[in-house]
Amino acid sequence: MTSRIPPVLRPEHPAPRSLALLVQEFDLAHRGSVDGVEVTGVTLGTADLHPGDLFVGIRGANSHGASYAAQAKEGGAVALLTDPVGADIAADAGLPILIVDDPRGALGELSAWVYRTAESNALLFGTTGTNGKTSTSYLLEAVMRQLGLVTGLSSTAERHIGELTVVSRLTTPEASEMHALLARMREAGVRAVAVEVSAQALSHRRIDGLVFDVVGFTNLSHDHLDDYADMEQYFQAKLALFEPEHAKRGVVCLDTSWGDRVVAETRIPVTTIATVGHASDRDVERAEWVVDVLEETATSTQFRLTGPDGRSLVTREPLIGWHMAANAALAIVMLVEAGFALEAIGAALDAEDGIQAYLPGRTERVSGDRGPSVYVDFGHSPDAFTNTLAAVRQFTTGRTIMVFGADGDRDATKRHEMARVAAEGSDILVITDHHPRFEDPASIRRTLLEGAKLAEHQPEATYEVSPPEMAIRKAVSLAKEGDSILWAGPGHQDYRDIRGVRTPYSARDEARAALHEAGWV
Domain shared by 374 and 468, yes or no: yes
Q: Would you say residue 356 lies in a domain? A: no
Contact 45, 8 (CB under 8 A): no
Model confidence pLDDT, tens digit, residues 472-501: 999 999 999 999 999 999 888 888 999 989
Domain shared by 383 and 495, yes or no: yes
Tell me the C-alpha distance between 445 and 449, whole Å.
6
Domain shared by 167 and 260, yes or no: yes
Q: Which residues does 251 contact at the CB level (< 8 Å), separation at least 6?
A: 214, 215, 216, 217, 270, 271, 272, 273, 330, 333, 334, 337
Where is the domain boundary, 84, 114, 144? 114
Q: Strand 501-504 and strand 495-498: pairing?
A: antiparallel
Tell me the C-alpha distance between 149 and 310, whole Å.
27
Domain shared by 11 and 152, yes or no: no
339 has pLDDT over 90:
yes
Phi and psi angles of residue 184, each rounded to the nearest 5 degrees, phi first: -65, -40
Contact 224, 199 (CB under 8 A): yes
CATH number at residue 243: 3.40.1190.10
Domain shared by 104 and 130, yes or no: no
Percent of the chain whose pLDDT exceeds 90? 88
The rounded Cα 120 to chain-centroid distance in angstroms is 23
272 has pLDDT over 60:
yes
Mean pLDDT of 86-110: 97
Contact 408, 441 (CB under 8 A): yes
Where is the domain boundary, 114, 147, 177? 114
Model confidence pLDDT, tens digit, residues 11-31: 999 999 999 999 999 999 999
> How sure is the predictor about 171, in pLDDT bands with cuts at 50, 70 and 90?
low
What pTM was computed for the model? 0.90
Tell me the C-alpha distance between 200 and 345, whole Å.
33
Domain shared by 177 and 249, yes or no: yes
Domain extent, residue 434, equals 364-517
Domain shared by 338 and 241, yes or no: yes
Any idea which of 115-129, 219-233, 300-314, 429-443 has the lowest mean pLDDT? 219-233
Tell me the C-alpha distance between 215 and 251, whole Å.
6
32 has pLDDT over 90:
yes
Domain shared by 23 and 168, yes or no: no
Model confidence pLDDT, tens digit, residues 76-91: 999 999 999 999 999 9
Average pLDDT, the chain: 94
CATH number at residue 9: 3.40.1390.10
Helix, coil or strand: residue 86: helix
Domain shared by 437 and 505, yes or no: yes
Mean pLDDT of 264-272: 98
What does DSSP assign to residue 48? G
pLDDT for position 1: 37
Helix, coil or strand: residue 29: strand
Provide the number of structural domains found in the chain: 3
Where is the domain boundary, 350, 385, 408? 350
One-letter amino acid for residue 152 of the chain: G
Break the chain down into helix, strand, coil percent, rounded to 5: 35, 25, 40
519 has pLDDT over 50:
yes
Domain shared by 231 and 106, yes or no: no
Model confidence pLDDT, tens digit, residues 354-409: 999 999 888 999 999 899 999 999 888 998 999 999 999 999 999 999 999 999 99
Q: Would you say residue 59 lies in a domain? A: yes
pLDDT for position 226: 80
Q: Which residues does 86 contact at the CB level (< 8 Å), separation at least 6?
A: 57, 58, 59, 64, 65, 66, 69, 80, 103
pLDDT for position 362: 87
Domain shared by 198 and 110, yes or no: no
**β-sheet bridge partners, residue 194:** 125, 153
Q: Would you say residue 355 lies in a domain? A: no
Domain shared by 135 and 109, yes or no: no
> How sure is the predictor about 7, in pLDDT bands with cuts at 50, 70 and 90?
confident
Model confidence pLDDT, tens digit, residues 195-245: 999 999 999 999 999 999 999 999 999 877 888 889 999 999 999 999 999
**Considering only CA atoms, which of 378, 379, 476, 363 is closest in space to residue 418?**
379
